Amino acid sequence: MMIRGQGLVFSNTAVAELTRQAAIGGTPGLTHIDLVHGGCEEFTIRLKPGHLFGVPVARLDGITVYAPASQVTNLAGLNIDYQDDLDGGSFRIIQKQGMRCCACGSAFSWLRNN
């Protein structure tokens, strides 16, 4: 099941991990997402516990996700999952039509018509 919020879609495992990280970080119920320019593709997602700044972009099963207002358009439409493996876990973007994702799973570019 995916949980949707203002164009962002999170898997149940992503929501559970966001909730866990926020509680451990001392900010239960609050998470911040932003996009860093560069890396393998145009943007790399970054998720941190707490409300650093920005506007609420999703309310997910008891946790509110905040993002910079200037990035809301580029965040809209992302599907985010959390995968745990032997190296630890990571949030990963699920690729869909209109975007290109790096094999790392956390970097993407929106494909635009030129």
Q: Where are the domains of the chain?
A: 2-108
Which fold, 2-108? Hypothetical Protein Aq_1857; Chain: A; (2.60.300)
Q: Which helix (H) or strand (E) holds 109?
A: strand 107-110
Q: How far apart are CA 57 and CA 33, in angstroms?
A: 9
pLDDT of amino acid 16: 94
**Cβ atoms within 10 Å of 103's Cβ, excluding its own:** 6
- The answer to whether the CB of 1 falls within 8 A of the CB of 9 is no
* Ramachandran quadrant class, 50 (left: phi over 0; alpha: psi -120 to 50; beta: rest): left
- The answer to whether the CB of 10 falls within 8 A of the CB of 17 is no
pLDDT 10s digits, 32-86 = 999 999 889 999 999 999 888 899 999 888 899 999 999 999 999 899 999 988 8
pLDDT of amino acid 36: 96
pLDDT of amino acid 38: 83
